[in-house]
Structure 1
Amino acid sequence: MSSSKTPRKHFSMLREFHLADFFTLGNAACGVAAVFLAMLYMHSQSLAHFYLAAAMAPAAFLFDVLDGRIARWRQQHSSLGRELDSLADVISFGVAPAALGFAAGLTGGWDWVAMIYFVCCGVSRLARYNVTAETLSEGSDKVAYFEGTPIPTSVLITGILAWLASNGQIGATLFGGAWMIGPWELHPVALVFALSGTLMISKTLHIPKL
């Protein structure tokens, strides 16, 4: 009896999804594809795979914009949608850019620290946003401003990495070279991740939400 009820529960969960939520899943799918393509590039060394991985970021951003607009158009805001959006953003704009950075040659110990810091800042920023969204909306159905830069701004990082790839400045010829600091290596490009993470968790930086 219990096994026959299980599929019904799955279908019941799907019925709770709104149209906007499926666009959010599109965002997550792009992020996962970016990670796979970054790994595929490391195996094949084909720049086509690297460029496709980078292209997943603007595709994910498009899905991210559309899911918000569709939710407002259909007036279908929910806690499920907000949590789903944050989880998708962590993959597409946190883990995926870090994976692309690693594939581009950011493999030093300090590079790891910078990119892990970046992802952790992104997770923290999204968690803080979910907790404070109701306060920041000031009684309306829309948040008035962001505290810190939104995590989708990491699209700029993937753009930088794609530009470096087009100029032959990734891998062994990564732009800026490498510095030995103590026992580990640091590539200056990794500092872009550290800067992005710091801006995301800033509480003094207020950015109006359009």
Structure 2
Amino acid sequence: MTTELHEKPPPRHFSMIRTFVLADFVTLGNGFAGAGTILSAMQYLATQQERWLWLAFALMPLALVLDFADGRIARWRFKSSPLGADLDSLADVISFGMAPAALAFAVGMRGALDVAVLLYFVACGISRLARFNVTAAQLSDGTGKVKYFEGTPIPSSLLLVAVLAVATWQGRIGGGEQMLGGVWDLGPMSLHPLVLIYLLSGSAMISKTLRIPKI
């Protein structure tokens, strides 16, 4: 008498990717655009060729479009994956948290105080996304849609990038006095006032009382 053993089939190659839906690939495109921004900023620092900086600026609106599109595609196709929300947050950290900070560093905000503010900004972006993931169910209405954001949404950092693009167009980058807004000497350290827009943006993201209606 023989006994048939039903063994669990081995996992298929790229089994995780096979579970992705179209919206997930769009979300990954958002992350790719953000990563491309960071790499382009690094290339600008290495070569001092301004075209890399403009490429970095151009990738940011693309990341924003893809960030808006993934949710709409998921609702349109009535398909989402268990990884969708986490993928979206991780992509947003890269595109709207780390990438704007990397651009600020690339255009000249490299002093110790500048870097401290930029790190604070990134930490606020991470905290903002983590809080949203935890509280989204509480903030949603009967249909499951979130009615408002607590604090400014992290894609609002694109406004900071727009300011950097204007400064670049005016030739007001590179650090020191030529930087847009100049520089403040604070004892042995210096601070570029332009970096304070990152301080304000980060603080607005983690605000508990600031409520922004979701469109």
After TM superposition, the score normalised by the length of structure 1 is 0.93
Give 1:208's aligned residue.
213
TM-aligned CA distance change 1:101 to 1:152, over 3 Å: same
Show the 5 A alignment for 1:64-143.
64-143=67-146
Structure (1 or 2) with the greater helix fraction: 1
- Are the aligned partners of 2:19 and 2:81 in contact in 1 as well (CA < 8 Å)? no
- Matches of 2:76 and 2:88 in 1, distance apart? 17
Quote how far apart the aligned CAs of 1:77 are: 3.6
Q: What does residue 201 of structure 2 align with?
A: 196
- The corresponding residue for 1:47 is 50
1:60 is the counterpart of 2:63: yes
User: What residue ranges of structure 2 are gaps of 5+ in the alignment?
Assistant: 1-8
- Which structure: larger Rg? 2
Structure 2 counterpart of 1:22, from 2, 21, 25: 25
Residues of 1 paired with 2:19 and 2:82: CA distance? 11
If the length of structure 2 is used for normalisation, what is the TM-score?
0.91
Give the Cα separation in 2 of the matches to 1:75 and 1:207.
Answer: 26
Corresponding residue pairs, total: 205
Distance in 1 between residues matched to 2:80 and 2:201, nearest whole Å? 29
Q: Distance in 2 between matches of 1:207 and 1:175?
A: 29
Runs of 4+ in 1 over 3 A off after TM superposition: none
List runs of 5+ in structure 1 lacking aligned partners: none
